[in-house]
Amino acid sequence: MTTPQTPIHSSFGAASTAAEIVKDLDLTGKIAVVTGGSNGLGLETTRALAGVGATVVVPARDVAKATAALAGISNVEVYPMELTDPASIDALATTVLAAHSVLHILINNAGLMTPPLMRDARGYESQFSTNHLGHFQLTGRLWPALKAAHGARVVALSSRGHQFAAVDFDDWNFERHPYDPRRAYGQSKTANALFAVALDARGQRDGVRAFSVHPGGVITDLTKYMSKEALAKSGHLDAEGRPIIDPERNMKSPEQGAATAVWCAVSAELDGMGGVYCENCDIAPALAADSPELLGVRPWATDPAAADRLWTLSEQLTGVTFP
């Protein structure tokens, strides 16, 4: 069943934290995978889920660094993985499936934002490769365990940045036009949202529901390619260079930024729903393409036809088909 892209007026909001989302839950026996789960939003996501009993698998480029960051958090397993390396993704999936036959939650959280032009070994632009294609492959490889959960949820971290660009199916890899890091980021975030639309449509019969999420504006390592001057000019830093926290204006702490992804992963308020773009712990309103509003989702990020077209392209580019 298709879920309307309409707010449901949940019991949480813009200022809610991940810890508040799970406060009354017991996730003992549940298995979760959180990419990028050892820093920024991912770390707070891992902390919240593990804190109420879930076993959280954290794939990481640097296992030693991730293990140190996660010290003191129980129920965490750390394994190596690089999202732009297909062999690394396959190896991680093999390890996870050997350890866990069932996967209840997959949060595709890791990401890259506005770097200079970089390409992976296949020649694919790095933001599209990291943010979308790597997670497409990972989800496909983990599909047997997601299906076995009979009620799994997959959460794709999108962004308000999806407003910057739709997926350019004629030049997604910037081979015909000059590389624009902001446009490339927007395209990859639109791809995250469309992936949730397509995955949910395909996964419903197996009990797998998917959501995409705008976490809010949070200053983390994701902003490493942005200067402090640019962040200050955008209003996200104060005069002393410290992040401004004002969730009603889309500026959040990491704890608040992790809340919507955790809400999508565990909330009973979303039972029987899926395929929608969420923000501020609610389903976001669908807005017109030319809307001046700061938040809300634009039509190119929820279009089922575009989602199907992206799915076909992703299968071709990765060689991955879902069983």
Range of the domain at 165: 18-220+255-317
Which residue type does 136 have? F
Largest CA distance in the chain: 53
**Residue 238 confidence (pLDDT):** 65
Catalytic residues: 185
**Residue 271 confidence (pLDDT):** 98
**Residue 204 confidence (pLDDT):** 97
In a domain, 1, yes or no: no
Spatial separation of the C-alpha atoms in residues 224 and 132, rounded to whole Å: 20
In a domain, 227, yes or no: no
In a domain, 48, yes or no: yes
CA 303 to chain centre: 18
In a domain, 169, yes or no: yes
In a domain, 279, yes or no: yes
Contact criterion met (CB below 8 Å) for 114 and 231: no
**Residue 231 confidence (pLDDT):** 57
Which residue type does 35 have? T
pTM over 0.75: yes
**Residue 224 confidence (pLDDT):** 56
Number of domains in the chain: 1
**Residue 222 confidence (pLDDT):** 53
**Residue 1 confidence (pLDDT):** 72
In a domain, 3, yes or no: no
38 contact partners, CB below 8 Å, separation of at least 6 = 46, 58, 60, 65, 66, 67, 69, 70, 78
In a domain, 241, yes or no: no
Contact criterion met (CB below 8 Å) for 96 and 75: no
**Residue 232 confidence (pLDDT):** 55
In a domain, 68, yes or no: yes
Per-residue pLDDT of the chain (323 residues; tens, 9 = 90+): 789 999 999 999 999 999 999 999 999 999 999 999 999 999 999 999 999 999 999 999 999 999 999 999 999 999 999 999 999 999 999 999 999 999 999 999 999 999 999 999 999 999 999 999 999 999 999 999 999 999 999 999 999 999 999 999 999 999 999 999 999 999 999 999 999 999 999 999 999 999 999 999 886 655 555 555 665 555 666 666 777 788 888 989 999 999 999 999 999 999 999 999 999 999 999 999 999 999 999 999 999 999 999 999 999 999 999 98
CATH number for the domain including 69? 3.40.50.720
**Residue 2 confidence (pLDDT):** 82
Phi-psi region for residue 191, left (φ > 0), alpha (ψ -120 to 50) or beta? alpha
**Residue 323 confidence (pLDDT):** 81
